[in-house]
Each structure stands twice: as structure tokens, then as C-alpha cells.
Amino acid sequence: MTAAAPVIEIRNLHKAYGALEVIKGVDITAKRGDVIALIGSSGSGKSTILRCANLLEDSQQGDIIFKGEPVTWRGKGLARRPSDAGQIMRIRTNLSMVFQQFNLWAHLTILQNVMEAPVTVLGRDRTEAEAAARGYLDKVGIGDKADAYPAQLSGGQQQRAAIARALAMEPEAILFDEPTSALDPELEQEVVKVIKDLAAEGRTMMIVTHDMKMARDVSDHTVFLHQGLIEEEGPPATLFTSPKSERLQQFLSSTMAD
């Protein structure tokens, strides 16, 4: 492993559900500090790529390499599984994921939600973990909600709590799966601001989003997926202003019409 190794490398990724192939050979590299946005219509494979990168889904072919270390596999095709449980835990610990539906524990306070994984997974001292958790809640603008329960927060506040929880693991990269699509437009902007701030700090992120404005404003590199393949990719300034492929032109005209 070298210091220059990308944080995440996905090479020739294939993913099928039975006979249905949803990812048909995709290559994506995220170097340290890169913010990569994955865009495309529903069913194009965006979220599946994130879930494969985080080993929440098993892929059938291709390599997933984390900081220069390839995932080891046993079996082939639909029987392929990661072979090293310790490696899976190590990778997942370093790749925090923020989901569309927040996934907060309803019976824990916001502070407890943010502290839980650093204490139970990383073995952090509870006092230190609490101090760090309070810092991350302040960072996302909800430090005053530490003792509230998820049901007492708005959707935007819950998603910011989920981001604080992801940050508390001090991961190498954060994967965002449609972080704003369950939110009203007004609350969405609270979350977009937090993500923009994280991008400005130079955090490594991969973001699946339907929000073209966020993809354009936050990412360094935008990947447009169509039917399980990369149809077009490049810097957002180029992709959004001068799309080459007809499919991307159609997609942007329909999603950015307003």
C-alpha cells in the first residue's frame, strides 16, 4: 500500500440479481479529497455501486480496492462472497454511509446515536466519544439537539444527525446515498450546506443524488450512469454545460428544466 493509493477503486464492477444484470462493468476511482457525484435515472445502478463499494451487496465480477488493498473473494459469479470477515469490518469502519432514510435508532438520543459506533465498534472511551460526538453535532448545526430523540427532529435535522454519526467514525471516505431525496426542498438546503462544507474541507466523498444543482456545485467529478454503464463522466463544469451523449442531454433537459 502506498500513500498515493486512491481511497476507493472500483474496476470492471458487475452486479446481478439473478438473471438481471444491473451493473455491467463500471470503473470509478476516488482519490483522497475527491468528491464524486453519481447521477442518472432511477434504476441506472447508482445506489447499487455504493452498496457494492461498502460491501453491503456482493458483486459478481471486478475488483474493489480500498487504499490499495483489494477485497478478497471466494466463489465465482452469483456465489461470489468476500472471504475475509476482518477485512469487511475494517473497510466498512472506514467507509461511513449516509442513507436516504436516516436510519437513526429511535430509542436513543441524538447524542447516543452519534456515540454508539465509536464506543461499540472502535472501542473508544465513552467520555472521549461523547466529547467528539458533541463536536460533530455542533459541526452540522444541531448541537442543541443532543438530548432529543429522532422523532422530535425534522427530517433535515435527522439527516444532519446521520451525517454527524458518519463523521464520528472518522472515516477515510463518506458514501451518501440520496441524502436529500426524502426531504422537503427547504430542509434539503440545510443538508446540502453541510455536504458543501465537508467538500470544502477536502473530505473524500461519493454522492448518489437526484439533485443536479448539488452534483454540479459540490463534486469535482460527475459520473452519469445509464442502464448499468458509465455513459459519460467528467468535471461538472463540462458535463453540465456541454454534455456529449444524447442520453445525458435528454436527462439534463428533463431534470434541470425547472
Average pLDDT estimate for 206-227 = 95
100-121: pLDDT as tens digits? 888 999 999 999 999 999 999 9
Has residue 160 got a pLDDT over 60?
yes
Give a yes or no: residue 2 inside a domain.
no
Burial class (CB in 10 A: 0-12, 13-18, 19+), 148: middle
Query: What's the one-letter identity of residue 67?
Result: K
Average pLDDT estimate for 157-174 = 95
Q: Which domain holds residue 50?
A: 8-255
Sort strands 35-39 and 221-226 into parallel, antiparallel or unpaired: parallel
Give a yes or no: residue 3 inside a domain.
no
Give a yes or no: residue 34 inside a domain.
yes
As a whole number of Å, the end-to-end CA separation of the chain is: 46
Give a yes or no: residue 1 inside a domain.
no
Average pLDDT estimate for 237-248 = 94
Share of the chain above pLDDT 70, in %: 98
116-139: pLDDT as tens digits? 999 999 999 999 999 999 999 999
55-82: pLDDT as tens digits? 999 999 999 999 999 999 999 999 999 9
Query: What residues are paired with 23 via a beta bridge?
Result: 15
In the chain, what are the helix, strand and coil shares in percent, each to the nearest 5? 40, 25, 35
Helices (H), 33-147: 46-53, 85-94, 110-120, 126-139
Give a yes or no: residue 227 inside a domain.
yes
Give a yes or no: residue 45 inside a domain.
yes
Neighbours of 242 (CB within 10 A): 9
Share of the chain above pLDDT 90, in %: 87
Q: What is the CATH number of the domain that holds 246?
A: 3.40.50.300
If one counts the domains in the chain, the total is 1
What contacts 24+ positions apart, CB below 8 Å, involve 20-27?
21/228, 22/48, 22/228, 23/48, 23/49, 23/52, 23/59, 23/228, 24/227, 24/228, 24/229, 25/61, 25/62, 25/229, 26/62, 26/225, 26/228, 26/229, 26/230, 27/230
Give a yes or no: residue 142 inside a domain.
yes
Q: How high is the pLDDT of residue 257?
A: 58
Has residue 181 got a pLDDT over 90?
no
In whole angstroms, what is the distance from residue 93 CA to residue 121 CA? 8
